[in-house]
Amino acid sequence: MDTPTGNLSARDKLLRAASELFYAQGITATGIDAVITRAGVAKMSLYNNFASKSELVAAYIDARHDEWLTLYTKRAASLANGWELILAVFDAYCDHAEFDYEDGFRGCGLLNAAAEMPCGSVERNAVNRHKQQIRSIILEHLNTLPLTEDHQMTTGELAEHICFLLEGAVSLAGLANDTAAITRARNMADKLIEQAL
């Protein structure tokens, strides 16, 4: 996020500008002209790189998720077991919340984007795919843990509980400007996993 804009291609400048504006102001409220002005590129640069605003939104959704995956990969690199790797999902969300956002942290950029898109749209489906990938990461690591046979939840149900904690905390953190909500949810997930072992 700290790459000087002078070193970026026109496409990257446009994507960075769109990312900043979409997150701060919303996708619907952000016009193409505002993105071009923020990026400091010619109008034709937009159409040479993105066929439509919808394509720019899709690139934003992918870039936003890739940012999180990069943060998660860094967190996970030094961890050895599934329990720690699940908690690292929360830590990566905390890292994302700590970025220097223009107007402060507004919650999950993907969920914010999905809220503006109609049901069944390509953009909403992309957000859902990304959220399912996070659930898969949690489920994969849960499957490496020796859960007790008398535990009342299946591994899938436990993964769902953890995802509910995560998404609820991120939403609350954005609404209340309380990023510590993610840490509190992490502690709850930690206890859930402990009870299952």
Per-residue pLDDT of the chain (197 residues; tens, 9 = 90+): 445 556 889 999 999 999 999 999 999 999 999 999 999 999 999 989 999 899 999 999 999 999 999 999 999 999 989 999 999 999 999 998 888 777 788 889 999 999 999 998 888 999 999 999 999 999 999 999 888 776 677 889 999 999 999 999 999 998 998 999 999 999 999 999 998 88
pLDDT recorded at residue 35: 96
Burial 16-52 (b: 16+ CB within 10 A, else e): bbbbbbbbeeebeebebeebbebbebeeebbeebbee
pLDDT recorded at residue 150: 66
First to last CA, the chain: 39
Tens of pLDDT, residues 172-196 = 998 998 999 999 999 999 999 998 8
Query: What pTM did the predictor assign?
Result: 0.87
Q: Which long-range contacts (CB under 8 A, 24 or more apart) does 103-107 make?
A: 103/24, 104/177, 105/173, 105/174, 105/177, 105/179, 106/23, 106/24, 106/174, 107/170, 107/171, 107/173, 107/174, 107/175
pLDDT recorded at residue 196: 86
pLDDT recorded at residue 151: 64
pLDDT recorded at residue 64: 92
Amino acid at 34: A
